[in-house]
A and B are shown apart, each in its own frame.
Chain A
């Protein structure tokens, strides 16, 4: 696999674009280059992450002490709704696939671009339109949405706030997600380099591929559900309104038929990134390659059949609850397969604890806590006690933020030299992981205890006995805020004035490391021919000779 990397001669994709001019705003906004689109997503999604985090920190500030602290109850309702909507629809769901999937999926399979570059750009634009509609719903008269991100009927039909616009935004964002999904599936099927057989694909590709299927299969269901809510609000059709014979529980079913698989849209790509980072920093081929690849598909499949575990207290039949609880336990199996294989990969490896690897370590701990507490709320008896309490809030923050959020940073720190050709401050980055881990647990672990004690989620006020733990959690939120500033500044300052990075600073062997950093417009000087398993580190010597 000698590609003749000669970065002195090769123009990077920053210097050469798909538009007439290779620099300036238009060269980005109209670029069909998957790498530029990935970076545009990175910037936009990071901005929304910060906005969502600010809402979160303000909510925690309000909950610092019982009673009114800084805002009225109505404002608080809007804040937790916006925090949820922004974090879920604008950050976590598009997050890793749109940023790193876009940038690295074609690189990792040795393609010049995705299958439909123009549709790729279109889906970014649709994302921007959707995001603007969310923001617009805050500004126009009527008031910010206050239903919680789940938009449960009947309140979402009766509330006077700008629900219609906000959920229409979610509908639009769904289109973006579908287009990205079908683009990635076709890319994986059609664009693989010669020799890149299915079982030579890097595991991030497998994970993104499985995710793309969920995006396609699940998203249309939320689209139609959202349309029904909008029609319900404007015309009073009656589909979900009990007064006209409709059934509000049906809404919950349809909502979760999408929104539970969406959880796997959020986490699967993260698991893929973990499967990339561990072999690179343990200098060992991945343990159980096929098991990990297939477990991604298994999660995608079984994850589609567990939605009603969000509704154990809404009055389903016992048989249904029993079946959904069982299926929920089954979905833990492929997740377990992954975790054990990751740990087995590290066994007897030559571990190099650089920041991306530290992020992954932090992920394994946080995600395991989140995953195991998922089983607690997945069992019928305990769920009755814990349903709609802080325990659930803690659980999904460990899985979503501790899982996907952590890996978003891991991916950023792992692929940063490849994306920008520069290097960040390693020491500060490592400290960032440590601070993140501490403040994360300070922020969210008390919520497990609070939930167990009976603190309901989404409440504005609470009983005095919850005050101490609430205060600890709020202090954790300040530390988290500072840590995020540290993590993000490190990246931003590296982009502006970072030192030039080596071509392959971590010694990765998947295809993206076989080209220059940052890559040229069409990714590879010569389309590579793949002769190795994806994590075969014996290639490293060969690669050095090649350059």
Chain B
């Protein structure tokens, strides 16, 4: 920033500072990474402590559903990026369409997640269940972490759906336009982060078998 002495304070009549808004968003995303970072730390500690039992427990997870959800999320990251690009080129209709598709994918992800979790719970695999307590310590921890980490991630997806829906309304009402799209860009950044975290969760839980 040192080279950029012409900061927002000098432009007295412009109350908008897009660079500042993006910077704030990046700082927020940084805190999100640290939030999940704490979880990844716990995962690393217990994986190191119980490598065999983590392997065993990992077999129970449904790689197919995990893979489908990964594809869904990566595609939704693409559509949100396309939505930004479309609005930059003043194509409001395409931008709205892409955003709607993104939100649809987000719902689809949650639906899959719902079926995946209920299947687990039907098999008696959830924290504190009788079947769970019969398992070895490492497996209990694996499933505990599985529920917490994918649960926290799912919560972020739900928050993302809310944010993207609000942004969608703004675009429809022309409150976000091609000259003023920092809110859309920031929501896109958030969505990429949610995607990015899943990219790490997927192999750690579903693929290492």
Contacts and interface: CB of A to CB of B under 8 A. Distances in A.
A239 B146 CA distance: 11
B68 to A, nearest CB: 27
A122 B128 CA distance: 38
B38 A190 contact: no
A159 to B, nearest CB: 19
Given A115-B17, A190-B19, A193-B10, 13 more contacts: A110-B9, A178-B28, A182-B28, A190-B17, A216-B30, A220-B37, A227-B148, A236-B128, A237-B144, A245-B136, A245-B140, A250-B42, A527-B12
B130 to A, nearest CB: 12
A121 to B, nearest CB: 15
A186 B127 contact: no
Contacts of A225: 38
Contacts of B12: 527
B137 A244 contact: yes
Contacts, number: 120
A112 B9 contact: yes
Q: How large is the interface on B (under 10, 10 to 19, 20 to 34, 35 or more residues)?
A: 35 or more
Contact of B5 (A194, A227, A228): A194
B38 A254 contact: yes
Contacts of A189: 1, 7, 20, 23
A186 B20 contact: yes
Nearest to B137: A245
A245 B19 contact: no
A190 B7 CA distance: 5
B38 A220 contact: yes
B117 interface: no
A237 B127 contact: yes
24 contacts: A111-B9, A115-B8, A183-B24, A190-B17, A191-B20, A216-B30, A217-B30, A220-B31, A220-B37, A221-B35, A221-B38, A228-B42, A231-B127, A235-B128, A236-B127, A238-B127, A238-B140, A238-B141, A239-B42, A239-B141, A239-B145, A245-B138, A247-B49, A254-B42
A244 B136 CA distance: 8
Contacts of A191: 7-9, 20
Given A178-B31, A216-B30, A244-B140, A190 B148 contact: no
B39 interface: yes
A216 B31 contact: yes
Nearest to A189: B1
Interface string A105-149: 000001110011001000000000000000000000000000000
Given A191-B7, A236-B127, A238-B140, A186 B34 contact: no
A238 B34 contact: no
A527 B14 CA distance: 14
Contacts of A217: 30, 34
A186 B141 contact: no
Interface in A145-195: 178, 181-183, 185-186, 189-194
B148 A194 contact: no
B148 A237 contact: yes
Contacts of A182: 24, 27-28, 31
A219 interface: yes
